[in-house]
A and B are shown apart, each in its own frame.
Chain A
C-alpha cells in the first residue's frame, strides 16, 4: 500500500491546493482554541469546514479535524461542540489528545473515527494499545521523541495505524507536556493552542545588533545582516555553565524525506507534514514532493534527492529523534 500523505491546511484555499497537489488526506481545525494552531486569521468556520470536506471527498481525499488542545475546566462544551460539528460536517476522523475528550467522543460519537494526536505523546506500544482498547482509537500520531527502530518496535506490537511527522516544525520536548510558553508568556499549546506567541515577541536594535525577545527574555542575538530567527523558546540561545548556545535545539526544522523507505519498513501507515500556518504555495510544493516520493517508493523507483531543501527558508534541517544520536 502506498504510504498516506497527511497534509496541513490553515485555510479552505490551502485545503483545495493540497487536494489538487495530490494529498491523500488533509488535516485542519476550527477557528478557535480547540486546535493546537490557534493563530489569527487561520482555520475554518463551520460552513467552510462543511464545504471543504465536501470538496475533498469529491476529489477522493480525506479530511481529519484536529481538536487537540486540552479542554478548559468549566468550558468543555466548546470542545464537545467541536467534535459534534466535525461529525456533522462529514469529517473522516477527529484528532484528539485529551483523555476526557476521547471518552466523550467515544461515548457520544461512536461512529466518528478517532485518531490520537501527537499532543497525547503516546510513546510506547503499551500506551498505544491502551488508547485503542479504551477509546477505540484507530490511528496514533507518534511523538517526536522516538527513533526509527523504536517506531518499528511499536508497530510490531500493535494493530493500530501509526502516523509520523516527516517535515516542518519540530518540537524538542514531548508534545502536550510542555509549559515553557505559558511560563514565559501565559499562553500555552495545551490550553490556548499557541506556543511562543507573536503577540509576545519584540525585536530591539542596539547599534546594529538585533535582540529577539519572547516575553521580555532575550533568547536570540543577531549581528547586522544575519538572519534573525523567530524566538521560539526551545530553539533559543541560552547560557548554562560556561556555554552560550542553542542548549535545547538549534533553529532547525524536521526533514525526514530520505527516511521514508525506512519508515515504511518500520510499518508506518501515514506521513504527516507540519504547518497549518503555511502558505498555499508551500503546501502545494511539499505535497507534490512527498507524493512523488511515496509513489516512487511504491513503484520501486529511486527517491528524488534533496527535493525540499529550498522550502526550509534558510533553516538547517534535521532528522530529529529518528536517528538515535539526536538524544
Chain B
C-alpha cells in the first residue's frame, strides 16, 4: 500500500511550508501532491518555494504531482491553471475544468474533489488519460470495491482518503473573511492564523466543522486504520494523508508501520492522540451510517 501526502489545505507561512516538505522528504511516503488547492490568493506567498520543494522531494525518491485549484472561476485562476499544465510535472485535477487545458493524450491524476462516483465516470476519465484516482471521501466501501475493480481492469491506480480532516464543501464565499466582517476580495488573509483551520461548534458547544477560507472541513480527522485489510482486498493501492500542523511526519511513520503490518490500528490511533490529544476520529463515510461516525476496530485487531 502506497502513502500519498495530500496538498496542504491550510494557509501556512512560506517558512512553515518549506520546512514541512523538508521533513516530508525524510519520511517513507511514496508520493507527494503539492501546490494550492483551496484559494488562489494564497499562492503568491509561497509560489517561489515550489520548485525547490519539488527538487528536494524528487531527490528523496518521491513521486511528485501538482494540484489544481478546487474551484476555478476568475480569469487569473484560469491563467494559473493554464500555466500549471505547462510546468511539465504530473497534474492532479481537483476541478474538471483543468481537462480543458490539458493537451490531448497527457496523463493526469484525479484528486478527491472531482466527483467519481461510478464506473462510467471512471472509464471516461481513464479514456482521457487518468492513471490514478483518489476517490471522493464521501463514498461507502461498497462503491470503493466496485470502482477499484473497474480501475484495475483499466490499469488505473485507486487511492482513498486515509487520514485527515474531510474536505466537505467549497464555496465562492470566504467564511474566514465573513467571520471578520470582510469580503473575499478584501479578506486581509484572515485564515493565516489557523494552521489547522478554525473550529466551528454547534450551539451546544459540540465540535462539528472546520472553517478554512472558502473551504469547509470536518472537525473530525477521518482515518482508515480499521479498514486497511478491506481496502487492500478491494484493490485499493494507496492511502492519502492530509497535512496537519502537528506531528505529521510521525503520523506518516505510524501509517507506514500499519500498512506493513508492524502495528495495530489502535496503536496508530493511540500514537496520534499521544501527539495531538484533542483530535477526534471518524470513518463513517466508508463503513458507518454517516460520515462523522467512528467504528471500533475489527475483533482480530484487538490483541
- B147 partner, pick from A73, A121, A173, A178, beta carbons under 8 A: A73
B173, A326: Cβ atoms closer than 8 Å: yes
B290, A215: Cβ atoms closer than 8 Å: yes
Chain B residues closer than 8 Å to A249, beta-carbon distance = 173
Say whether B96 faces chain A, with CB atoms less than 8 Å apart: yes
Say whether A295 faces chain B, with CB atoms less than 8 Å apart: no
A130, B97: Cβ atoms closer than 8 Å: yes
A73, B142: Cβ atoms closer than 8 Å: yes
Chain A residues closer than 8 Å to B142, beta-carbon distance = 73-74
- B198 partner, pick from A73, A178, A241, beta carbons under 8 A: A241
- Kindly state the separation between the CA atoms of A207 and B86 in the bound complex, as whole angstroms: 63
- Whether A217 touches B208, Cβ cut-off 8 Å, given contacts A247-B200, A327-B174, is yes
- Whether A130 touches B99, Cβ cut-off 8 Å, given contacts A173-B216, A324-B185, is yes
Residues 136-183 of A at the B interface (beta carbon under 8 Å): 143-146, 150, 153, 172-174, 176-180, 182-183
- Kindly state the separation between the CA atoms of A324 and B183 in the bound complex, as whole angstroms: 9
- Kindly state the separation between the CA atoms of A236 and B211 in the bound complex, as whole angstroms: 14
A240, B200: Cβ atoms closer than 8 Å: yes
- Whether A127 touches B169, Cβ cut-off 8 Å, given contacts A73-B147, A220-B203, A238-B201, is no
- Kindly state the separation between the CA atoms of A73 and B119 in the bound complex, as whole angstroms: 6
Query: Per-position contact with B for A218-256: 1 when CB-CB < 8 Å, else 0?
Result: 111100000000000010111111011001110000000
Chain B residues closer than 8 Å to A98, beta-carbon distance = 115, 117-118, 120-121
A100, B120: Cβ atoms closer than 8 Å: yes
Q: Looking at the assembled complex, report how far the CB atom of B175 sits from the nearest CB atom of chain A, in whole angstroms.
A: 6
Question: Chain A residue with minimal CB distance to B217?
Answer: A183
- B78 partner, pick from A124, A177, A239, A248, beta carbons under 8 A: A124
Q: How many residues on chain A are close to B (CB under 8 Å)?
A: 68
Chain B residues closer than 8 Å to A127, beta-carbon distance = 72, 95-97, 100
- Kindly state the separation between the CA atoms of A220 and B204 in the bound complex, as whole angstroms: 10
- Whether A73 touches B218, Cβ cut-off 8 Å, given contacts A173-B170, A240-B200, A321-B172, is no
B117, A73: Cβ atoms closer than 8 Å: yes
B118, A72: Cβ atoms closer than 8 Å: yes
Question: Chain B residue with minimal CB distance to A129?
Answer: B100
- Whether A100 touches B122, Cβ cut-off 8 Å, given contacts A127-B97, A180-B169, is yes
Residues 286-300 of B at the A interface (beta carbon under 8 Å): 288-292
Q: Looking at the assembled complex, report how far the CB atom of B116 sits from the nearest CB atom of chain A, in whole angstroms.
A: 8
Say whether A186 faces chain B, with CB atoms less than 8 Å apart: yes
- Kindly state the separation between the CA atoms of A124 and B179 in the bound complex, as whole angstroms: 27
Chain A residues closer than 8 Å to B173, beta-carbon distance = 145, 172, 248-249, 321, 326-327
Say whether A48 faces chain B, with CB atoms less than 8 Å apart: no
- Whether A126 touches B78, Cβ cut-off 8 Å, given contacts A76-B119, A239-B201, is yes
Question: Chain B residue with minimal CB distance to A103?
Answer: B124
- Kindly state the separation between the CA atoms of A20 and B170 in the bound complex, as whole angstroms: 39
A174, B172: Cβ atoms closer than 8 Å: yes
Q: Looking at the assembled complex, report how far the CB atom of B134 sits from the nearest CB atom of chain A, in whole angstroms.
A: 15
- Kindly state the separation between the CA atoms of A249 and B171 in the bound complex, as whole angstroms: 11
A100, B119: Cβ atoms closer than 8 Å: yes
Interface residues of A (CB under 8 A from B): 70-74, 76, 97-101, 103-104, 120-124, 126-127, 129-130, 143-146, 150, 153, 172-174, 176-180, 182-186, 188, 190-191, 211, 215, 217-221, 234, 236-241, 243-244, 247-249, 321, 324-327
Apart from A123-B71, A176-B115: 9 A-B pairs, beta carbons within 8 A:
A73-B118, A74-B143, A172-B171, A178-B170, A179-B166, A191-B117, A220-B203, A239-B205, A327-B177
